[in-house]
Amino acid sequence: MSQKNKISFSEKKLIDFAYDSGFETGKKYSDLYRSIKKISSYSNIKDINKKEIINDFVESSDSYFVEELKGLSEGCNIPIEKLLIIQKTINNLFKVGCTTTLSTGVATKNNETFLTQNFDLLQDLHNYVDLILVPLIISKCKITRDTSGKYNYAFWGIPILFEIPIMNDQGLAFGGNSLLLTKDKSRFIDEGNGMSIFLLERLSMMTCKNVQEVADLWKKTTRAFRKKTRLFFWDGATSCWCDKKGEILIIEQTHNHFISVFGDSQDITNAPKDILWHTNHHQWLDPEKTGSIKIDEGVHTHPSFIRANRAREILEENYGNVDLNVCKKIVRDHHNSKRSSYSICCHPDKNYLAKTIFSWISMPKKMHIYWTRGSPCEYNFKHVDLSKKFDGN
């Protein structure tokens, strides 16, 4: 690994114990990895360049991930190159577009804090993913234990290879949205090497107890942003955070550009205090500098802009009265009662092949989550008390 690409963490023990953490994870979830390996071999993904994937891993700037993956390989007895191909296969399937809202303080009915997240699939693989992969990935949340980080955290997905963080044991909760880039070849896209956002999200869960610590970590870290990602597809992702103290945060970022937007950043949002929302385009960074899609690109307005406006509209309509029921209405919303790819609860139509495949609502003050697999308009929410999960109950 190139010395100039190495990133030094303030918590050095993360790297020191990364191999051991990966090894223990590999042993614990060996059956899951074997199942995913078998399923991924049946997929029809054709654009996987094995040599490119291995070279990218060897040259990776993420020292922690390199050591962790070595340990994982030994623990589950699957070669590293096979694990990387599994990861790439799943990444290719999960090309997502999401809607996230945050509300807290004066915006809520009882001084609560809420994060809502719709996880949308953006291609015509809904049945394959929903019937085969989703049961393995989000049948229940998983809890990290005895990791090399300061804090344990809950997540959906495949440990290490494809984690979707939910909340850590300090009440720091996560949501995230992919970034759609321009297809205009004449426009600039801000690319550069650094730490993958996938890993940075996990490191935030491991090492941060509140949104201010997250903002500080992300700002000081050299972040990866690659138009053609190999190991990960979400380098440009927008992350959304809230914490037990009632603070909320959205981070828009690329390799060179960064903005942290808090609940009281009204000069940036031009919205009432204590509400934030996001979809799949840059709202506050300049898209001409980052490469994000713009509202005037293409013949039709992209659903990302419609969903963002609708999310803000619902938050403002219910300002001062946002509660759990309002949050459920947000994730189930079909504007004007029409199911479409333009609604927050997405359904595929002639315009876009987009579908909401699962949703969750986080309440960090109580450390509760409510979640549903499939379209939230069709299923009841399940409740999980994460404080008990973290205690081992």
Residues facing residue 115 across a β-bridge: 102, 362
Residues 80 and 107 in one domain: no
Residues 209 and 326 in one domain: yes
Residues 80 and 213 in one domain: no
* Tens digits of residue pLDDT in 278-335: 999 999 999 999 999 998 775 557 889 999 999 999 999 999 999 999 999 999 999 8
Region 213-236: what's the mean pLDDT?
A: 79
Residue 225 sits at φ, ψ, to 5 deg, of -150, 105
CA-based nearest residue to 118, from 308, 271, 390, 387: 308
At residue 63 the predicted structure's pLDDT band, cuts being 50, 70 and 90, is confident
SS3 272: coil
> Would you say residue 80 has pLDDT above 80?
yes
Residue located via tokens 């992702």:
237
Here the CATH number for the domain that contains residue 359 is: 3.60.60.10
Residues 46 and 145 in one domain: no
SS3 248: strand
> Would you say residue 8 has pLDDT above 80?
no
Q: How far apart are CA 352 and CA 339, in angstroms?
A: 12
Residues 118 and 32 in one domain: no
Residues 35 and 101 in one domain: no
Residues 102 and 148 in one domain: yes
**Domain of 71, in residue numbers:** 3-92
Q: How many domains does the chain have?
A: 2
Domain boundary among 74, 92, 110: 92
Residues with Cβ within 8 Å of residue 317, at least 6 apart in sequence: none
At residue 352 the predicted structure's pLDDT band, cuts being 50, 70 and 90, is confident
Residues 32 and 155 in one domain: no
Residues 72 and 120 in one domain: no
Least confident of 67-71, 135-139, 234-238: 135-139
> Would you say residue 6 has pLDDT above 50?
no
> CB of 260 within 8 A of CB of 249?
yes
User: How many C-beta neighbours within 10 Å does residue 77 have?
Assistant: 11
Domain boundary among 62, 92, 122: 92
Q: How far apart are CA 99 and CA 176, in angstroms?
A: 8
Query: What is the predicted pLDDT for the residue at 157?
Result: 85
Q: Which two structure tokens, joined as six digits, stand for 9?
A: 């963490």
Query: What is the predicted pLDDT for the residue at 148?
Result: 63
- Pick the more confident residue, 388 or 137: 388
At residue 128 the predicted structure's pLDDT band, cuts being 50, 70 and 90, is low
- Pick the more confident residue, 23 or 157: 23
User: How many C-beta neighbours within 10 Å does residue 336 have?
Assistant: 8
Report the mean per-residue pLDDT for the chain. 85
For residue 166, give the H/E element and its range.
strand 162-168
Domain boundary among 92, 110, 133: 92
Q: What is the DSSP string of 105-157?
A: GGGBSSS-EEEEEEEEE-SS-HHHIIIIIHHHHHSS-EE--S-SSSS-EEEEE
Q: How far apart are CA 155 and CA 159, in angstroms?
A: 8
Residues 156 and 225 in one domain: yes
Residues 316 and 297 in one domain: yes
Residue 166 sits at φ, ψ, to 5 deg, of -115, -60
Q: How far apart are CA 150 and CA 153, in angstroms?
A: 10
Q: How far apart are CA 267 and CA 21, in angstroms?
A: 43
Q: Taking phi first (over 0 means left), then psi (-120 to 50 degrees means alpha), and beta for anything else, what does residue 367 get?
A: left
What torsion, rounded to 10 degrees, do the Cα atoms 171, 172, 175, 179 define? 180
Query: Percentage of the chain surpassing pLDDT 70?
Result: 81
Q: Which two structure tokens, joined as six digits, stand for 350?
A: 């002639």
Residues with Cβ within 8 Å of residue 124, at least 6 apart in sequence: 348, 353
Residues 168 and 283 in one domain: yes
